[in-house]
Amino acid sequence: MDRRTFIKTTGVVAAHAAVFSSTVGAKQSPQQRSPQAVYHLNPFEQQGQWYKAAFHVHTTTSDGDVDVPTRLAQYRDLGYAIVAVTDHWKTNDLSGFSDEKFLAINGMEAHPQTRTGAPAHHLVCLNLPHPFELDRKLQAQELVDNVIQVGGKVIYAHPYWTAHTIEEMSEIKGYIGVEVFNAVCQIRWGKGFGNVHWDQTLNKGWALPAVATDDVHSSKEIDVGWTMIKARGLGKAEVMEAIAAGSYYASCGPTVEDFHIKDGVVGIQSSPAVQIRFQFDRAGGGRVFNAKEGQTITSAQWKLPTNSPPGWIRAEVIDRQGRYAWTNPLPVPQETVKKIIESK
């Protein structure tokens, strides 16, 4: 992969960059851009507040065990500030549920067919109007285009559970994230982790951020995987802007306090962990830092290799209970690569 595929300056990103007062890198010619690449911002370099978010939630409107008011109250009581209700093929009337401390986002999970004959795509659609219907016979791309047309955003759900390959994931353009963790798929079927699928998209040059979700159906499956969003405020516009910009990290427990690349060194700070890993786009890639027996670590630093520097790096934090957090990948800055190459 050409590491320049991470450096994207579309109008959308330029708008976010202005909002978040961040620069996103050098210009790139159109033919170097991946058609699906959505370059995300590093939340640890943005101004704003952290908000705990649930992006994939079912209620009795489809096959969940409690109704919308009960589900929203459950999440609110658990300290969530943002909840997207995403019932299968159906939206909900969420008027009256949001206030200055809580944002309810209307959404839907849609299931268009794959072209390869593999099981249907599962697409979590956020920020839909209500009422709103999608034609179930639409081709996957048409469906995504319809969602985008009304101001919605799409996240590719649980690719491991649906037995999808990069081929199926590549059929659609325009989604802005992928589930790296889906609690229901893990609890019921042991297929909740999407990290290998995620890395494949990254290696293809699609700079996708990743979310963790509950995909809650039964109230026993709540608050297992969530996404921490850094946004300028809790208004719908600010939150959707942060989601579109990838200004977040995913977690099942650990807190990430900082993640950055500076002067050729990648560094992370987190809540107490037994292991911190850096993952990147090279064969054999993966750099692991372990706490000593019975102890924990709260940071890790790694000097980027001078031999074949990576194009992107992301971090994983694992706590004593075996719970993960995942940062979104950062592109290795061009000046860092230049320095590394010059120092050889």
Task: Please report, as ranges, the residues that interact with Zn ion according to CB under 5 A.
Answer: 109, 122, 157, 215
> To the nearest whole angstrom, how small is the minimum distance from the Cβ of residue 21 to Zn ion?
35
Q: Distance of alpha carbon 252 from its chain centroid, rounded?
A: 13
Give the tokens for residue 64.
């969940």
Cβ proximity to Zn ion: between 24 and 85 the closer is 85
Name the region of 47 (left: φ>0; alpha: ψ -120 to 50; beta: rest): beta
Distance CA 75, CA 115 (A): 36
Q: The tokens 């694992």 sit on which residue?
A: 318
Cβ proximity to Zn ion: between 55 and 312 the closer is 55
Q: Which residue is nearest to Zn ion (CB)?
A: 122
- 325: part of which helix (H) or strand (E)? strand 324-326
Cβ proximity to Zn ion: between 14 and 163 the closer is 163
Q: 199 to each of 101, 212, 260, how far by Cα in Å?
A: 35, 15, 19
> To the nearest whole angstrom, how small is the minimum distance from the Cβ of residue 320 to Zn ion?
29
Cβ proximity to Zn ion: between 168 and 238 the closer is 168
Give the tokens for residue 329.
């990948």
> To the nearest whole angstrom, how small is the minimum distance from the Cβ of residue 232 to Zn ion?
29
Cβ proximity to Zn ion: between 199 and 215 the closer is 215
> To the nearest whole angstrom, how small is the minimum distance from the Cβ of residue 194 to Zn ion?
12
Distance CA 85, CA 98 (A): 13
Phi then psi dihedrals of residue 340, to 5 deg: -65, -45
23 Cβ contact list (under 8 Å, min separation 6): 17
- Measured CA angle at 12 (ends 132, 42), to 5 deg: 105
Distance CA 204, CA 283 (A): 14
Cβ proximity to Zn ion: between 109 and 241 the closer is 109
Hey, what amino acid is at 232? R
> To the nearest whole angstrom, how small is the minimum distance from the Cβ of residue 122 to Zn ion?
3
> To the nearest whole angstrom, how small is the minimum distance from the Cβ of residue 276 to Zn ion?
30
Give the tokens for residue 237.
């516009």
Cβ proximity to Zn ion: between 109 and 316 the closer is 109
> To the nearest whole angstrom, how small is the minimum distance from the Cβ of residue 57 to Zn ion?
8
Distance CA 202, CA 213 (A): 20
